[in-house]
Amino acid sequence: MKKLVLIDGNSIAYRAFFALPLLSNEKGDYTNAVYGFTTMLLKVLEEEKPTHLLVAFDAGKSTFRHKTYAAYKGTRQKTPSELSGQIPMIHKLLDAFSIKRYEAKEYEADDIIGTQAVEAAKKGYEVVVITGDKDLLQLVDDRIEVVLTRKGITEVDRYNEAKIEERYGLTPKQIIDLKGLMGDTSDNIPGVPGVGEKTAIKLLTQFSDVETVLASINEVSGKKLKERLEENKELAILSKQLATIMTEVPLETALNDLAYNGFDYQAVKELFKAYAFNSLLNRIGEDEDQQEEALEEVAFEIVSEIKEDHLISPSALVIEMLGDNYHHADIIGVGLANKNGNYFIPTKVAVESTLFQTFMADEKKEKYLFDAKRAVVALAWQDIELNGVAFDLQMASYLLDPSLSSHEMSDIASRKGSVRVLEDETVYGKGAKQGIPAEQQLAEHLSRKAYAMHVLKEILANELKENEQYSLFAELEMPLSVILGRMEKEGIKVDRGQLQTMGGDLSTRLADLEKEIHKEAGETFNINSPKQLGQVLFETLELPPVKKTKTGYSTSADVLEKLAGSHPIIEHILLYRQLGKLYSTYIEGLLKVANEETGKVHTRFNQALTQTGRLSSTDPNLQNIPIRLEEGRKIRKAFVPSHDDWLMVSADYSQIELRVLAHISGDERMKEAFLKNMDIHTKTAMDVFHVEEDEVTDQMRRSAKAVNFGIVYGISDYGLSQNLNITRKEAKEFIDRYLASYPDVKAYMENVVKEAKKTGYVQTLLARRRYLPELASSNFNQRSFAERTAMNTPIQGTAADIIKQAMVIMSEELANSSLKATMLLQVHDELIFEVAPEDEQALKELVTNVMENALSLDVPLQVDVLSGSSWYDAK
DNA sequence: TCCTTCACGCACGTC
DNA sequence: GACGTACGTGAAGGAT
């Protein structure tokens, strides 16, 4: 017998929250509702032994009931933030248990439960509904039971038809009529004033339902009651309507999807540890036997010759390689899964097959991959084109929740409860011991990954749609990944000779400085060792320590700057550090990774890493090439066009984050600055210090700039005080003055935090999300950090959205033009190109146009474009 | 026992 | 605030 258990998520969480004291884990997150919910869940799993399981949540916001009656739930108190922060944690918990959860816009959890219950009952399931809400009693019939929490969460009452009859003297359907007459204060359903439970039951026993009662008012006993019914006919009908659970919600999940097949032991254990539910660890049993349990069988075939039948659309593909630098890594095998079967194709068989190559290049043959860019670039190095990537699992996982530390297949598989997949580390080992396993094992692993991809693709695609993130995924990030892949493969030329010359110069200067410093210290020591340097400065030379780190004295630049003047050695150390950084990170670092033959460096952009939606760049990191100090800026002279006579072009957004802030906050004064194209820092100084433009001093502008900087990066009053070298109190006052000058910015900041506490996440203009469970933390630092993040992420993230959008459009425009120009790099608010001299002007016009119009805001976007014979000269 | 590898903290480059 | 890299350091791991 199939048995479906439906849990009213919000209701149970709410009960648990109020039934238990405010527990929290060591991080300071409140966990009492999560804990209570978990104990209830474990109890349900043990006692009910469901074959199918669903937890329904309210989607928040407004439902179809609000359309009928605006005041619906109007008296309900706002969910306490200590509870709302726990809802995402409960979501995570359910994911770890591989239990389906669902929420639908416009509908309440009740309606989702009602719909599923009725459908399942019709199909012969035994159905149990678990809730704290008596409303749901109306669903009871011979196949549906409702379990109501009575006190706390462990004491419950189980209602079938007989029990309802016994308790109310009514049939389950009459529960709706009961509500219609007596109303419900907690949902602000009015009912008939003056009619309570007793009267309502009496009326219903006599007349069966609201309609009959109203049609037979004459027969009702009691003059006052008659009057009340007469006056409130419409209210009674409306109340009944509101109390009726909708059983025809258009659900996107089929009953089959709700099958519960047990949970992933590791995932649950990890989560229990994170939530500090040590006492519950025992309740989920010993891990040994379960963990050792064999993976479910996935049949596969090792392909020795590729045939047409292997290559159908859609197919899931795994292009496996060891080591993370896909510019150099060898492909060790190919996994393939589609309707016809699961396959392992040895690399040689794949890359040498024309059939395979044609299939890979065919735009119309849909492919699902995990980290598509990795495959695209690796194959490009083998001169194999990969087109038609229809789904990137890693990208989907990242967009759904960027905070998950790992977007590895095995983790996604265990989180989403599909076919289990081994961790790559388990199969290949790591570090020095990493290697390729026996073919059979490799074949099994890759086929399994490919097979799992189909299942996971469906799940994640649905989640993206539920979150309204599908277009972000399909129209922005997916196309961008291909573009980034091309940029990485193309690479950027560095002039190795120039680097070597600069390096030679630096190393002599470093050697001289080293001698000088040793002389001043009176001993030789390793200047690069903070430990040794600390001893020399604060013990041998007895300079006053300014700051400590966990391990000893701090010798950071801002500490040394405070000591400057007290000893000549300080200045030399600062210079040594500066030059040393240039030499080892940039000169040697770049020379190490530049291709011997072409002189090009090929970075890798990580598109699925940052919490804000920015890219990051590694191996080498080309997003932190020096510019601030002239000495370092010279490094940019080594970045040159890859063709003779071509030019480097740099196009950067001016103040994009502050423009985004002006747009989303709608602050008129701030918008004015951009509409009138004023210097934003001067304008800020004018507004904050209440002075005219010509009265703004350098110091005022500097302070204003620091605050703007702080707003953009979400720093704290502490951070600002460090930047401006003022006290924390002064910094706080300064921020307050700033916010007073820009009231709508202040309102936005408050609002975004409030909203995030409610929903558990913040989002950007293009629906990129970031969950912030720490908003409910009792730990001040944690909570403050989350609050600043809530304010800052939509700003920085939207800026990231905009430049990504610009890149996608730019790439199309370039492809459709005959311009001899290549997009090479993205540095957060800047795009770097190389261009043939005859197309320089055209490119500049095009890129300005594309970037400024990538997304339309209430303030103009401004782009500065510059060109020159090297990146340095594009200034 | 020695040598290599690894994880971690510190410092500093960019936006 | 977010990133990535280089370096030094002490501990763990592996070979001898």
- What mean pLDDT is reported for chain A? 88
Please tell me whether any atom of strand C lies within 7 Å of the Cβ of A612: yes
Rounded mean pLDDT, A846-857: 97
User: Distance in angstroms, CA of A521 to C1' of C4?
Assistant: 32
| Nucleotide closest to A720 measured between CA and C1' | C1
Please tell me whether any atom of strand B lies within 7 Å of the Cβ of A124: no
Structure tokens at A509: 């200067």
pLDDT at residue A26 is higher than 60: no
Helical spans, DSSP H, in A169-254 = 174-182, 197-207, 210-215, 223-231, 233-243
Q: Which residue is nearest to nucleotide B13 (CA to C1')?
A: A624
| Nucleotide closest to A611 measured between CA and C1' | C2
| Nucleotide closest to A525 measured between CA and C1' | C8
User: Distance in angstroms, CA of A267 to C1' of B11?
Assistant: 36
C-alpha span between A312 and A709 (Å, rounded) = 52
User: Distance in angstroms, CA of A419 to C1' of B14?
Assistant: 42
Nucleotides of C under 7 A from a protein CB: 1-10, 14
| Nucleotide closest to A557 measured between CA and C1' | B11
Structure tokens at A66: 């609000």
| Nucleotide closest to A652 measured between CA and C1' | B15
Q: Which residues of A481-493 are buried (b: 16+ CB within 10 A; e: fewer)?
A: bbbbbbbbbbbbb
Q: Judge contact between A98 and A417, C-beta under 8 A.
A: yes
- pLDDT category of residue A67 using cuts at 50, 70 and 90: confident
pLDDT at residue A292 is higher than 50: no
User: Distance in angstroms, CA of A499 to C1' of B10?
Assistant: 27
Higher pLDDT, A428 or A770: A770
Q: Which residues of A450-459 are buried (b: 16+ CB within 10 A; e: fewer)?
A: bbbbbbbbeb
| Nucleotide closest to A560 measured between CA and C1' | B11
pLDDT at residue A273 is higher than 70: no
Q: Which residue has the tokens 């799993």?
A: A45
DSSP conformational letter for A310: G
- 3-class DSSP state of A252: coil
pLDDT 10s digits, A342-380: 999 999 999 999 999 999 999 999 999 999 999 999 999
Q: Which of A737, A775, A783, A780 is nearest to A756 (CA)?
A: A775
C-alpha span between A479 and A807 (Å, rounded) = 10
Cα dihedral A140, A145, A146, A149 sign: positive
Length of chain A as a residue count? 875
**HEC sequence for A412-461:** HHHHHCCCCCCCHHHHHCCHHHCCCCCHHHHHHHHHHHHHHHHHHHHHHH
- 3-class DSSP state of A638: helix
Q: Which residue is nearest to nucleotide B11 (CA to C1')?
A: A556
User: Distance in angstroms, CA of A392 to C1' of B8?
Assistant: 33
Burial of A397 (0-12, 13-18, 19+ CB in 10 A): buried
Please tell me whether any atom of strand B lies within 7 Å of the Cβ of A550: yes
Please give the single-letter amino acid code of residue A15.
R
Q: Which residue has the tokens 């993230």?
A: A797
Please tell me whether any atom of strand B lies within 7 Å of the Cβ of A627: yes
Please tell me whether any atom of strand C lies within 7 Å of the Cβ of A722: no
Give me the pLDDT at residue A201, please: 76
| Nucleotide closest to A624 measured between CA and C1' | B14
Structure tokens at A137: 């009693």
pLDDT at residue A241 is higher than 90: no
pLDDT at residue A287 is higher than 50: no
Rounded mean pLDDT, A289-303: 73
Share of chain A above pLDDT 70, in %: 94
Please tell me whether any atom of strand B lies within 7 Å of the Cβ of A549: yes
Higher pLDDT, A584 or A433: A584
- pLDDT category of residue A158 using cuts at 50, 70 and 90: confident
Distances (CA, A) of A341 to A300, A310, A320, A873: 7, 8, 19, 56
User: Distance in angstroms, CA of A433 to C1' of B2?
Assistant: 20
Q: Which of residues 386-415 of A touch strand B (CB under 7 A)?
A: none
Q: Which of residues 569-588 of A touch strand B (CB under 7 A)?
A: 574, 577-578, 581, 585
Burial of A607 (0-12, 13-18, 19+ CB in 10 A): buried
User: Distance in angstroms, CA of A432 to C1' of B1?
Assistant: 22
Q: Which of residues 760-789 of A touch strand C (CB under 7 A)?
A: 785, 788-789
C-alpha span between A498 and A491 (Å, rounded) = 18
C-alpha span between A65 and A428 (Å, rounded) = 55
User: Distance in angstroms, CA of A382 to C1' of C13?
Assistant: 37
Q: Judge contact between A754 and A776, C-beta under 8 A.
A: no
C-alpha span between A802 and A768 (Å, rounded) = 12
Q: Which of A572, A518, A556, A562 is nearest to A540 (CA)?
A: A518
Cβ-proximal residues to A382 (8 Å cutoff; 6+ apart), any chain: A331, A351
Burial of A285 (0-12, 13-18, 19+ CB in 10 A): exposed
**DSSP assignment string, A320-365:** EESSS-TTTPPEEEEEEEETTEEEEE-HHHHHT-HHHHHHHH-TTS
Which residue segments constitute the domains of chain A, with CATH numbers given? 1-159+254-284 (3.40.50.1010), 170-245 (1.10.150.20), 301-485 (3.30.420.10), 495-593 (1.20.1060.10), 652-656+799-868 (3.30.70.370), 658-795 (1.10.150.20)
Q: Which residue is nearest to nucleotide C7 (CA to C1')?
A: A528
Share of chain A above pLDDT 90, in %: 58
Q: Which residue is nearest to nucleotide B15 (CA to C1')?
A: A828
Q: Judge contact between A613 and A797, C-beta under 8 A.
A: yes
User: Distance in angstroms, CA of A529 to C1' of B8?
Assistant: 15
Q: Judge contact between A20 and A32, C-beta under 8 A.
A: yes
User: Distance in angstroms, CA of A433 to C1' of C15?
Assistant: 14
Give me the pLDDT at residue A529, please: 92
Q: Judge contact between A512 and A617, C-beta under 8 A.
A: no
- 3-class DSSP state of A261: coil
Higher pLDDT, A237 or A368: A368
- pLDDT category of residue A340 using cuts at 50, 70 and 90: very high
Rounded mean pLDDT, A582-601: 94
Burial of A666 (0-12, 13-18, 19+ CB in 10 A): middle
| Nucleotide closest to A529 measured between CA and C1' | C8
Cβ-proximal residues to A182 (8 Å cutoff; 6+ apart), any chain: A191, A192, A195, A196, A197, A199, A200
Which neighbouring-strand residues pair with A648?
A834, A868
C-alpha span between A372 and A378 (Å, rounded) = 10
pLDDT at residue A281 is higher than 80: no
Please tell me whether any atom of strand C lies within 7 Å of the Cβ of A611: yes
Q: Which residue has the tokens 């990146």?
A: A871
Q: Which of A225, A20, A12, A277 is nearest to A132 (CA)?
A: A12
pLDDT at residue A155 is higher than 70: no
Neighbours of A508 (CB within 10 A): 10
Q: Judge contact between A397 and A407, C-beta under 8 A.
A: yes
Q: Which of residues 283-342 of A touch strand C (CB under 7 A)?
A: none
Q: Which residue has the tokens 């890594």?
A: A329
Please tell me whether any atom of strand C lies within 7 Å of the Cβ of A616: yes
Higher pLDDT, A482 or A117: A482
Give me the pLDDT at residue A617, please: 95
C-alpha span between A483 and A475 (Å, rounded) = 13
Rounded mean pLDDT, A697-719: 91
Give me the pLDDT at residue A258, please: 81
β pairing state of A647-653 and A552-553: unpaired
pLDDT at residue A42 is higher than 80: no
Neighbours of A52 (CB within 10 A): 21
C-alpha span between A734 and A725 (Å, rounded) = 13
| Nucleotide closest to A609 measured between CA and C1' | C3
pLDDT 10s digits, A494-517: 999 999 999 999 999 999 999 999
Q: Which of residues 774-833 of A touch strand B (CB under 7 A)?
A: 827-830
Please tell me whether any atom of strand B lies within 7 Å of the Cβ of A629: yes
Structure tokens at A559: 């500490």
| Nucleotide closest to A629 measured between CA and C1' | B13
First to last CA, chain A: 74
Q: Which residue is nearest to nucleotide C5 (CA to C1')?
A: A585
C-alpha span between A591 and A601 (Å, rounded) = 9
Cβ-proximal residues to A100 (8 Å cutoff; 6+ apart), any chain: A53, A54, A55, A94, A253, A257, A258
Nucleotides of B under 7 A from a protein CB: 4-7, 9-15
pLDDT 10s digits, A636-659: 999 999 999 999 999 999 999 999
Question: Which helix (H) or strand (E) segment is A87 a member of?
Answer: helix A87-96
Higher pLDDT, A18 or A788: A788
Give me the pLDDT at residue A92, please: 81
* Cα A50 off chain centre by: 32
Give me the pLDDT at residue A374, please: 96
* Cα A326 off chain centre by: 25
User: Distance in angstroms, CA of A585 to C1' of C6?
Assistant: 6
User: Distance in angstroms, CA of A544 to C1' of B14?
Assistant: 31
User: Distance in angstroms, CA of A507 to C1' of C2?
Assistant: 32
Q: Which of residues 502-541 of A touch strand B (CB under 7 A)?
A: 530
C-alpha span between A868 and A875 (Å, rounded) = 7
Q: Which of A821, A767, A820, A759 is nearest to A793 (CA)?
A: A767
Please tell me whether any atom of strand B lies within 7 Å of the Cβ of A554: yes
Please tell me whether any atom of strand C lies within 7 Å of the Cβ of A526: yes
User: Distance in angstroms, CA of A577 to C1' of C7?
Assistant: 12
C-alpha span between A172 and A137 (Å, rounded) = 6
Please tell me whether any atom of strand B lies within 7 Å of the Cβ of A431: yes
**What is the largest distance, in Å, between two alpha-carbon atoms of chain A?**
110
* Cα A456 off chain centre by: 18
Please tell me whether any atom of strand C lies within 7 Å of the Cβ of A703: no
Please tell me whether any atom of strand C lies within 7 Å of the Cβ of A682: no
Q: Which of A422, A377, A390 is nearest to A316 (CA)?
A: A390
Give me the pLDDT at residue A725, please: 87
C-alpha span between A40 and A567 (Å, rounded) = 67
Structure tokens at A57: 């949540």
C-alpha span between A336 and A175 (Å, rounded) = 55
Please tell me whether any atom of strand C lies within 7 Å of the Cβ of A697: no
Please tell me whether any atom of strand B lies within 7 Å of the Cβ of A555: yes
pLDDT at residue A832 is higher than 80: yes
| Nucleotide closest to A616 measured between CA and C1' | C3
pLDDT at residue A710 is higher than 80: yes
Segment among A3-7, A86-90, A570-574 with least mean pLDDT: A86-90
